[in-house]
Structure 1
Amino acid sequence: MMTNSKVENMEEALNPLVGRLKDGVEGDTNDPVTVVVIFSTIIAVLGSYVFGSAVGYSSPAQSGIVNDLGLSLADYSLFGSILTIGAMVGAITSGKIADSFGRRSAMGFSELFCLLGWIAIAFSKTAWLLDIGRLSIGYGIGTLSYAVPIYIAEITPKNVRGVFTALNQMMICFGVSVMYLVGTLISWRILALIGIVPGILQLLGLFFIPESPRWLAKTGSWTDCETSLQRLRGENADISKEAAEIKEYTESLRDFPSSQMTDLFQRKYRQALLIGVGLMVLQQFGGVNGIAYYASSIFETAGFSGRIGSIAMVIVQVPTTVVGTFLTDRCGRRPLLVVSSAGTCLGSFLIGMSFLLQDLQQLQISPILALVGVLIFTGSFSIGMGGIPWVIMSEIFPINVKGMAASLVIVVNWLGSWIVSYSFNFLLELSSKGTFFLFASISALTIIFVAKLVPETKGRTLEEIQASMVLLA
């Protein structure tokens, strides 16, 4: 652990850097978005698509797997939920892998687990092989959930970092939606084989994209850092200022001892950790996975067609995710988070009112309220709370603790996902209306959290954001 004197010395070292970075913001010109940045981002978000495919696979495959392999409902519940267990393990190790071997290597390592998992599922004849395949995919996407947004944030110019990093969530959404729609037309084995394709494309593409210049700087490979940065910014671009900022900030952190997990709870990282963990807790406990996993059941319980309602969700989710992605750098992170949370609060409240009216025998309006509520929740979540917590997570942690801190944040996210998805049916049985009023309250709390604690990171370099977070703690 660092002593108070070392913390004060670190703040003194960072103060001039933050000042220079802030002084330069007004005069900075927007860096061009090169073909290399675009191609590298496309290759990275193929991993996000794999993430979404894994999440979306279990719903359309359920009847086919249960019938063909003779599984009980408990057997299939284990198959569905074991993905989350694997993802938590993957999240725990993801930061160490990405910090030790690089962002590209972490993505490639993850995809190997995903590919083996899909193959095991596609050719499984027994429940245990099915579960091993699902667990393997879970480990892979747990690692990808760290490596993809971190890599994108570290390679993109500051003026487009938000929209490019938000592509992570958009591709997760696409993966879920495609699996859900295609899965209604083909067998579960063919669907699993289709899941292999984006993983293979990413593995091949990783050979042609540059490593993160900030990771290279962290390892002391300054020549490789500048080479990578030049490729990303263009052959004729002047990278001297950005390279100098990266080098100066990295060297200022190198003067201090290697950080341990316990150091994350020191004062200098307190603000960043609170924001990262807080956003993930509020994202999950706002009820998104309960609504996403059991939307059909919600519709049917409220007296509406589950199939029509689920299709309507996909129709709303995809375009709002796209809109949210492109508004991230135009409107800023904070306004979108506030609008998104207000929308999820309203959506949850309307669903709760639907069940309340159902209890009061007002059956005519109850199904419509349920549909409107779910669609408002889905659209609002997709435009902000779905992707922006991942964007902010990739921006706020200093490079020397980014692996440990982001791993902790992602573990919290997956743990919250498991708790909500596991307990949701029990909560509905206890009180349907109370469950959604609780979700509405958590969304209202999110608005206050964002307004009070979350900084605006739009248009700022990673070095400026991270240094200022240390000084604010």
Structure 2
Amino acid sequence: MICCGVAFVFFLGNVITWRTLAVIGAIPSLVHIIGLFFIPESPRWLAKIGRHKDFEAALQRLRGKHADISQEAAEIMNYTEMFQHHSEKVLDLFQKRYAYSLIVGVGLMSLQQLGGSYAITFYASSIFVDAGFPSDIGTISSSLIAIPGVALSVLLTDKAGRRPLLMVSAGGLCLCNFLVGLAFCFQDLNLWKEVTPILVYISLLIYPINVKGSAGSLSSLVKWSCAWIVTYTFNFMMDWSSAGTFFIFSAICGITLLFVAKLVPETKGRTLEEIQASIAHFH
């Protein structure tokens, strides 16, 4: 849905002013706020505070009216009772026993943003202009081509698993960033200047996007902080070196690939409690 929204905004951005576009962007945000009132509470949170009837009702609603939730409900209650004596202060996250989970969660959030995905989305039009390619054709094409790519990933998530998709995505980002950097390098050296816009266009077209509460909050903070840093510094980096900017992004995506391969566990078809148990076994 995010991908469809981005494609829609790129279309509108070519025919209306950015101020009008910003006002239109407020409409789905308002719908989002209203929709939040209809979202059921987290079953695990309800179990934690002792609202057992509400916990079972919320879990049943999420799993489906006729689904058998007895086993899952029992597992959640067991883990809730096991960890109910542990505090959830943010500082507790930095205990040794949580180190692996914290490294994986925060590492994924920061590396994905530092790889330049948001900066390239936000500044796609400027990148195409710098490369000498028509920005309207470039932005519309890149947004449209992303939709079937994301749709395919949705279908493959539970079949291929999360780790393989993360690794393929990181590898693809590494290659695409390297090609864009190479294209701008050719441009800076006045070599094959006619190749630069084509190479940038093709590369951006295939561009792939107990302490749980505290950890999730910290991961979100890291994610959006890194996204802000990258988007804020992007223009300064491009002024410094267009080629260097994308080579740096490429290197970070390469590190992400290694990070996923070495540290990130597979979560396909596993409950949070099963993932927790596997992490404990890992130690």
Common fold: TM-score over 0.5: yes
**CA shift in 2, pair 1:182/1:242, >3 Å:** same
Residue 202 of structure 2 corresponds to 372
Kept in 2: contact 1:271–1:472 (CA 8 A): no
Match of 2:134 among 280, 283, 305: 305
Shift of 1:274: 0.2
Q: d(CA) in 2 for partners of 1:194 and 1:419?
A: 23
Q: Distance in 1 between matches of 2:180 and 2:196?
A: 9
1:297-336 to structure 2, matched below 5 A, reads 297-336=126-165
Task: Give the alignment partner of residue 52 of structure 2, picking from 206, 215, 222.
Answer: 222
1:471 Cα deviation from its structure 2 partner: 4.2
Q: Structure 1: which amino acid aligns with 2:55?
A: C
Whether 2:264 is the aligned partner of 1:454: answer yes
Q: Identify the match of residue 213 of structure 2 among 403, 406, 410.
A: 403
For residue 31 of structure 2, what is the aligned residue in structure 1? 200
Structure 2 unmatched ranges of 5 or more: none
Between 1 and 2, higher relative CO (CA 8 Å, sep ≥ 6) is seen in 2
Indicate how the Cα distance of structure 1 residues 238 and 418 shifts in structure 2: closer, same or farther if over 3 A, else same. Answer: closer
Report the alpha carbon displacement of residue 236 of structure 1 after superposing the two structures with TM: 3.7
Percent of residue pairs bearing the same amino acid type: 51
**What does residue 287 of structure 1 align with?**
116
The answer to whether the 8 A contact 2:106-2:219 is kept is: yes
Change in CA separation of 1:368 and 1:408 when aligned onto 2, cut-off 3 Å? same
Query: Are 1:249 and 1:463, in contact at CA under 8 Å, matched by a contact in 2?
Result: yes
Query: What is the one-letter code of the residue matched to 1:195?
Result: A
The equivalent position to 1:231 in structure 2, one of 42, 61, 75, is 61
Structure 1 residues 194, 346: CA separation in 2 closer, same or farther (over 3 Å shift)?
closer
Hey, what does 2:224 align to over in structure 1? 414
Distance of 1:237 and 1:405 partners within structure 2: 30
Q: Which amino acid aligns with 2:2?
A: I
1:387-439 C-alpha deviation (Å, 9 max, x unpaired): xxxxxxxxxxxxx2112111111111111111111111111122211111111
Shift of 1:202: 5.8
1:52-451 to 2 correspondences below 5 Å: 171-186=1-16, 188-189=19-20, 192-193=23-24, 195-197=26-28, 199-200=30-31, 203=34, 206-207=37-38, 209-254=39-84, 256-361=85-190, 362-376=192-206, 378=207, 380=208, 386=209, 400-451=210-261
Residue identity opposite 1:174 in structure 2? C
CA contact 1:355–1:432 (8 Å) conserved in 2 = yes
Gap change, CA 1:444 and 1:222, over 3 Å in 2: same
The alignment yields a C-alpha RMSD, in angstroms, of 2.1
How many residue pairs are counted as aligned between the two chains? 281
SS in 1 for 2:37: helix
Q: 1:282 to 1:198 in 2, by over 3 A?
A: closer
- Per-residue deviation, 1:233: 3.2
| C-alpha separation in 1, matches of 2:70 and 2:136 | 56
Given the two structures, how large is their TM-score scaled by the length of structure 2?
A: 0.91
Which residue identity does 2:37 align to in structure 1?
L
Find the counterpart in structure 1 of residue 276 from structure 2: 466
Are the counterparts in 1 of residues 7 and 140 from structure 2 also a CA contact under 8 Å? no
Equivalent residue letter for 2:274: E
Deviation string 1:163-189 (CA, Å, 9 cap, x unpaired) is: xxxxxxxx2222222233234445644
Measured in 2, the distance between the counterparts of 1:445 and 1:192 equals 38
Cα distance between partner residues in 1 of 2:66 and 2:245: 57
Contact 1:285 1:416 (8 Å CA) reproduced: yes
1:289 and 1:233 mapped to 2: Cα distance? 33
Closer, same or farther: CA 190–411 of 1 in aligned 2, 3 Å: closer
Q: 2 CA distance for matches of 1:410 and 1:320? A: 25
State the alpha-carbon separation in 2 of the partners of residues 280 and 268 from structure 1. Answer: 20
Q: Structure 1 359/325 Cα, relative in aligned 2: closer, same or farther at 3 Å?
A: same
Structure 2 letter corresponding to 1:342: G
TM superposition shift of 1:197: 4.9
The Cα of 1:222 is off from its aligned counterpart by 1.2
Q: Output the amino acid matched with 2:273.
A: E
- For 2:240 and 2:112, the matched residues in 1 are separated by 23
**Is the Cα contact below 8 Å between 2:10 and 2:139 reproduced in 1?**
no
SS of 1:263's partner is helix
Q: CA deviation at 1:200?
A: 3.2
Residue identity in the other structure for 1:178: F
